[in-house]
Structure formats: C-alpha cells, structure tokens
C-alpha cells in the first residue's frame, strides 16, 4: 500500500507499505520505525502547541506537535512496536518565508519536539530540519529507509 500523509495527519503501515508526505515547510515530519516488527508511522504536524485551540486538538490531534507526537508513538505501540527498538527521525521545521518570519513556527515545532523526546528519554537517529527549502519524504516500511527530496535532490535520512 502507498499512503499519503496530509497536513495535520498521521499514517502507520507495515512491511510492503510506502508512506509519503509532500511539501514540509515549517511543519514537522516525524518518522518512527521498529526494525524487528517492520512497522512504521509518519506524522505531519502543523503547529507546536495545542493550547491555542483545544477543540481542534481534540478533533484532530495530528495538527499539533504536542498532541500528535504521543499519538504516533501510541499507534506504533498498539501495532506491537517497542520503545527501546524505535528509530526516530525528523524532517521539516523550516522557515519557508525566510528568517524574518514573525511566528517562527518551524523553530518552535522543533523545540517542542525535542522537549517531548527529551522528557521521554528518546534521541533522534537523524534529522533534516530548518532552512527555507520544502521537503518531500518517502518512508519505505520494508527497509526503514527514509528519502528526503528537495529541489530535485534526493538524500537518505
């Protein structure tokens, strides 16, 4: 199966699946992978904190980093993933409008993510964040391989 993760969305899959998300700007793309179970999930969260609109966060937790990240972990745990085995990678959190962007959404998305991970004793395996480029992520659940394409250039994360 090929899943496409929209903005404020999350998809999880198993061996044979490909999960894709397009045009990550200031949004956070977070990928979790359990290499033993060969399962993985991807979150595409828009804004850092859910406190600005609790009702929206309840209707769609994947919109916010602070509510979406725990939901992604729960989804993987429910499929049999184990915390100690998880490989965590992050992409996005950029500033597509340049550094003088007023709200610094990308930077704040990244900060909230790092804080959540630190509190839960999880380190990122790798990340491709910040800058002004737009990123598309291909996540192959059979191999755990994450490919970032940006401006026609493909790199493995």
- Residues noted as catalytic: 27
Report residue 132 as tokens.
């002004």
Could you tell me the smallest distance in angstroms from the CB atom of residue 124 to other proteins? 6
Q: Per rule CB under 8 A, is residue 118 in the interface with other proteins?
A: yes
Tell me the CB-side half-sphere exposure of residue 82, using CA atoms within 13 A. 5
Q: Per rule CB under 8 A, is residue 116 in the interface with other proteins?
A: no
Residue 29 bridge partners (DSSP): 44, 91
Q: Per rule CB under 8 A, is residue 123 in the interface with other proteins?
A: yes
Measured at the CA of 112, the angle between CA 119 and CA 12, to 5 degrees, comes to: 85
Stretch that binds other proteins, among 16-24, 44-52, 115-123, 138-146 (CB under 8 A): 115-123
Cα–Cα nearest to 69, from 36, 28, 19: 28
Q: Which is nearer to other proteins, 114 or 133 (CB)?
A: 114
Q: Which stretches of the chain bind other proteins, using CB under 8 A?
A: 114, 118, 121-124, 127
């Amino acid at each position: 199966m090929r899943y496409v993760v929209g903005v404020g969305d999350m998809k999880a899959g198993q061996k044979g699946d490909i999960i894709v998300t397009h045009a990550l700007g200031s949004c956070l793309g977070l990928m979790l992978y359990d290499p033993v179970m060969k399962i993985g999930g991807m979150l595409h969260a828009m804004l850092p904190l859910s406190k600005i609109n609790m009702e929206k966060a309840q209707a769609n937790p994947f919109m916010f980093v602070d509510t979406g990240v725990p939901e992604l972990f729960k989804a993987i745990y429910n499929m049999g993933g184990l915390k100690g085995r998880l490989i965590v990678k992050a992409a996005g959190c950029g500033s597509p409008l340049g550094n003088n962007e007023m709200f610094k959404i990308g930077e704040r998305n990244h900060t909230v993510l790092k804080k959540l991970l630190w509190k839960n004793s999880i380190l990122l395996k790798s990340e491709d964040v910040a800058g002004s480029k737009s990123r598309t992520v291909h996540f192959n659940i059979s191999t755990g391989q994450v490919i970032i394409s940006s401006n026609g250039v493909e790199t493995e994360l």
